[in-house]
């Protein structure tokens, strides 16, 4: 379904992913076996080929609703990338570089070209109030930049909330005709290692680095005020997800982005702002609409924090910065 409008008009690539989990307890460690990744290549009348891949991984590799939980060592990047390259998906990356945040564009784009879905078709949609500050970066084949002009903002909170508004409008008017998958990402980040097709799914969310070890959901910074549309009652919740990286099928992302925008607007009418803006609305949505893939904090770490032993690789990390200097109204 994510391959509509590709150049392969004579071929239809259909991928069937069957998650067959065999649970075997060995010294209290569960082994999860995920075989049967079929990639049939079809013409109008006949199958050209069917390929079978087998992969297994261990320990905390699925959620309690049986979605994959992706860590280093739980996938073969060569196999997964090869599977998706055969389907030739178009991937949109939406970033906002408003005000002084344009200074982060060069590092983000250059590192993304080195590590993010290399050899895939990627379009960077850069939302900015200063187009002349968008740097010229050498891009790989099939990769391009599209600049979207947005207004300046007086508060960083308005930039954050405005992301949902302008992303909703632009997805509806433009991006949905140009992409099969979409990622929302924070521009003040740099890629450090492979970030490949293992991240792709109907709806992929990233565990927040500050809370992934915390099993007490009442400690999560959910919105706890019932007056807000982002409200999550005490005792409820699965994980706490970051809003700095999330992605999925274009239409699924459109539903989620529009939801965050509309719920934020409802809050504004009631003179309330969710504690962590769109991240609060994102977490409420994902509580009742489970992500189909959960990515470990490897997919968004922070240069502010030391890297613990259970994080084997940092794929993306947020940069240290002077918030008082780069944000229009300061603040963290």
| Total domain count, the chain | 1
pLDDT tens digits for range 12-22? 233 333 333 33
Q: Which residues are annotated as a binding site?
A: 96-98, 101, 186-188, 208, 279
pLDDT tens digits for range 276-295? 999 999 999 999 999 999 99
Cα(281)–Cα(229) distance, integer angstroms: 7
Give Rg (Cα) of the chain: 20
What is the three-class DSSP state of 258? Answer: helix
State the pTM of this model.
0.81
Q: Which amino acids are annotated catalytic?
A: 279
What's the count of helices (H) and strands (E) in the chain, helices before strands? 6, 16
What is the mean pLDDT of the segment spanning 54-76?
79
39: in domain = no
Domain CATH number, residue 168 = 3.90.550.10
Distances (CA, A) of 261 to 3, 160, 178, 186, 279: 27, 10, 22, 17, 11
292: in domain = yes
pLDDT at 115 over 60: yes
What is the three-class DSSP state of 260? Answer: helix
State residue 308's pLDDT score.
94
Mean pLDDT of the chain: 83
DSSP code at position 115: H
**Domain containing residue 266:** 90-326
Within 10 A of 54 (CB to CB), how many other CB atoms are there?
Answer: 11
14: in domain = no
Cα(15)–Cα(50) distance, integer angstroms: 10
> Pairing state of beta strands 181-185 and 90-97?
parallel
253: in domain = yes
74: in domain = no
Q: How confident is the model at residue 151 (pLDDT cuts 50, 70, 90)?
A: confident
59: in domain = no
272: in domain = yes
61: in domain = no
Question: Who contacts 40 (Cβ-Cβ below 8 Å, separation ≥6)?
Answer: 13, 14, 16, 47, 49, 50
Cα(10)–Cα(18) distance, integer angstroms: 26
Q: Which residues are annotated as a binding site for Mn(2+)?
A: 186, 188
What is the three-class DSSP state of 23? Answer: coil
What is the mean pLDDT of the segment spanning 205-220?
92
pLDDT tens digits for range 289-313? 999 999 999 999 999 889 999 999 9
């Amino acid at each position: 379904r994510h391959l509509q409008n590709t150049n392969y008009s004579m071929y239809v690539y259909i991928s069937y992913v069957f998650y067959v989990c065999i649970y075997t307890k060995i010294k209290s460690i569960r082994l999860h076996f995920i075989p049967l990744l079929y990639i049939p290549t079809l013409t109008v009348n006949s199958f050209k080929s069917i390929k079978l891949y087998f992969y297994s991984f261990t320990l905390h590799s699925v959620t309690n609703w049986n979605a994959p939980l992706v860590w280093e060592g739980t996938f073969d990047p060569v196999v997964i990338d090869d599977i998706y390259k055969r389907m030739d998906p178009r991937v949109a990356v939406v970033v906002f570089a408003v005000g002084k945040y344009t200074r982060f564009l060069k590092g983000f784009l250059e590192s993304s070209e080195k590590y993010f879905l290399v050899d895939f078709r990627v379009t960077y949609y850069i939302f900015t109030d200063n187009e002349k500050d968008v740097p010229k970066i050498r891009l790989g084949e099939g990769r391009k930049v599209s600049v979207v002009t947005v207004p300046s903002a007086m508060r960083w909170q308005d930039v954050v909330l405005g992301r949902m508004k302008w992303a909703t409008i632009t997805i509806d008017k433009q991006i949905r005709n140009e992409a099969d998958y979409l990622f929302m990402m924070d521009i003040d980040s740099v890629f450090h290692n492979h970030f490949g097709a293992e991240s792709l799914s109907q709806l992929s969310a990233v565990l927040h680095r500050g809370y992934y070890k915390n099993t007490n959901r009442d400690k999560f910074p959910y919105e706890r005020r019932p007056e807000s549309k982002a409200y999550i009652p005490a005792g409820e919740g699965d994980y706490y997800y970051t809003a700095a990286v999330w992605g999925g099928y274009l239409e699924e992302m459109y539903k989620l982005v529009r939801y965050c925008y509309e719920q934020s607007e409802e809050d504004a009418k009631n003179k309330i702002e969710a504690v962590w803006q769109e991240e609060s609305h994102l977490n409420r949505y994902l509580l009742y609409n489970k992500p189909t893939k959960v990515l470990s904090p490897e997919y968004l770490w922070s240069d502010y924090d030391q890297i613990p032993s259970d994080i084997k690789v940092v794929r993306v990390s947020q940069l240290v910065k002077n918030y008082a200097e780069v944000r229009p109204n300061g603040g963290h």
